[in-house]
Structure 1
Amino acid sequence: MTRLAIPLIALTALASPAAAAEIQIAVQNPVVELSASETVTSKPDIATVSSGVTTEAQTAVEAMRLNADAMDAVIKRIKALGIDADDIQTTGINLGARYDYDQQAQRQVFRGYQASNRVSVTLRNVARAGEVLDALVAAGATDVGGPDFSLADDSAQRAQARKAAFDHAKAQATQYAVWSGYTGVQLLEVDESVSQTAPPPPFPPTVRMQAAEAKATPVEPGLVTTQANLTVKFEMTR
């Protein structure tokens, strides 16, 4: 997507901070402003999966005790797969009373307490995502989520997308300059945003299943997209 803005009288002063001083750039010629986006695709090297356990009991203490026992089994299974402890992170622990609405009595009826605990697991080998998800369910997880794929270091992809977007924008700006009777352009300002996206997980974030019913989970990592979005301003030059 490109956006062109050429003022009739371009006498704007563009300022940018430099240390504690402010540098004023006097613009004498028309300014062209463009937006350019470029993407780079690559194979992911990180997969993130999540797993949770939900338990219910008549007392809060018992609900938490049951949950701790169940979650301990899940975490032990994760570690038994050779996953480093630093790649396992608790993302939420919740405890609350559970009520059902009694249609006959027309009121809320207390049914007990519900406790939940959820962890996020980072996998350095994306090929193991399906294996890990299956192991979590077999260990007693009541819900699993993911996998979400990403790059551990996308600096090279960011640089490639950034350069492609900038080159595209500059080429367009130069065309506008030539068409307007100028010979080239000089850069005045760059605004950038870079994002990384991956295909959605193969099933919704929260899926309840019975270990006995679950088949081996196929997982395809696909490609991760790194996108650079630039908004640039060039002054036309003679």
Structure 2
Amino acid sequence: MIRYAIPAAVLATALPMTAQAAEIQIAATGPVVELTVMEEVDAAPDMVTVGAGVSSEAPTAVEALRQNSRAMRSVIERIKSLGVAERDIQTSSINLNARYDYDQQRQEQIFRGYQASNRVTIKLRDIDETGEVLDALVVAGATDLNGPRFGLENDESAKAAARRAAIKRAEAQAREYASLAGYSNVRLLEINESMQGRSGPQPIVVTGSRMMASDESAPVEPGTISTGVSITVKYEMTR
């Protein structure tokens, strides 16, 4: 949460502050109205992240991990061949677990070997390539996919637009309350801000038999991203 205390010397200006000004609290002589306002701005996403994983099974832990490492190297090489930079490929998890099945007749756990898994998160800066990349991952050996999850590489302009809209609405509401109470104006005393971010559609998880390579790339619709701010403001009612 970002907290702004507005010094008297700059009440007539926008919101410039210094670290020292942020410590100043203003004593109100008139009634104070406190409001919470949230505003969101929709913007087209400019990046997308997808997750890809490989699972391997073998009788021994060493062999399961070796098989999995070979398969994941193939997937990573394919990702790089599509033009994805190394900085946009990040290992998110590596797991190795013993596998057991429960034998109902014998009522005991039966050891079945080991399962190794490796997952990477991939950032794509060209959204139009998402479908092609998803298909390529499956062909390269990925056994599960997660995503896509759309976002904004730089959401500062969207946040600024939401902030302006929130301040404008908060002041209008404060003036309305002041008018109803018999006052002619308002004076901004304090702003508390928290950021809100909402991505596009929920990620789609695709695993196992649901993934099959096709002649056409998977259809991907980026939609829009909602970015917003929530502010709590205090206004003093003035004559």
What TM-score range do you get, normalising by the shorter chain? 0.7 to 0.9
The CA distance in 2 between the partners of 1:144 and 1:222, in whole Å, is 20
The C-alpha deviation readout for 1:55-78, integer Å capped at 9, x for no partner, is: 011111000000000000000000
Partner Cα distance (2:25, 2:233) in 1: 17
Q: Distance in 2 between matches of 1:158 and 1:39?
A: 8
The secondary structure found in structure 2 opposite 1:152 is coil
Contact 2:148 2:204 in 1 (8 A): no
Deviation at 1:227, TM superposition (A): 1.6
Is the 1:150–1:196 contact (alpha carbons within 8 Å) kept by the matching residues of 2? no
Q: CA deviation at 1:213?
A: 6.1
Contact kept, 8 Å, 2:135 with 2:213, in 1: the verdict is no
Aligned to 1:13: none
Matches within 5 A, 1:73-88: 73-88=74-89
AA at the equivalent of 2:205 = P
What per-residue deviation string (whole Å, max 9, x for no partner) do you get for residues 159-191 of structure 1?
A: 000110110010010111111111111111111
TM value normalised by structure 2: 0.87
Q: 2:186 & 2:103 partners in 1: Cα distance?
A: 74
Structure 2 spans left out of the alignment, 5+ residues? 1-17
Aligned residue number for residue 204 of structure 1: 204
What are the residue-to-residue correspondences of 1:35-184 with 2, within 5 Å? 35-184=36-185
- Which stretches of structure 1, 4 residues or longer, exceed 6 Å deviation after superposition? none
Q: Quick one: higher RCO (CA 8 Å, sep 6+), 1 or 2?
A: 2
Q: Which residue of structure 2 aligns with residue 32 of structure 1?
A: 33
The equivalent residue for 1:194 is: 195
Structure 1 counterpart of 2:227: 226
CA deviation map 1:106-138 (0-9, x unaligned): 011111111000000000100111110100000
- TM-score normalised by structure 1 residue count: 0.87
**SS of alignment partner, residue 138 of structure 1:** helix
Q: Number of residue pairs matched? A: 221
Name the CA distance, whole Å, in 2 between partners of 1:57 and 1:19: 64
Counterpart code for 2:47: I
Letter in 2 for 1:28: T
Gaps of at least 5 residues in structure 1 are 1-16
Deviation at 1:230, TM superposition (A): 1.1
Task: Provide the aligned C-alpha RMSD in A.
Answer: 1.9
**Conserved in 1, the CA contact under 8 Å of 2:135 and 2:214?**
no
Once residues 105 and 213 of structure 1 are traced to their aligned partners in structure 2, the CA distance between those partners, rounded to angstroms, is 44
SS of 1:26's equivalent in the other structure is coil
Q: For 1:29 and 1:110, locate their aligned partners in 2 and report how far apart those are by CA, in whole Å.
A: 75
Displacement of 1:24? 3.8
**In 2: Cα distance, 1:35 partner to 1:177 partner:** 16
| Letter paired with 1:62 | E
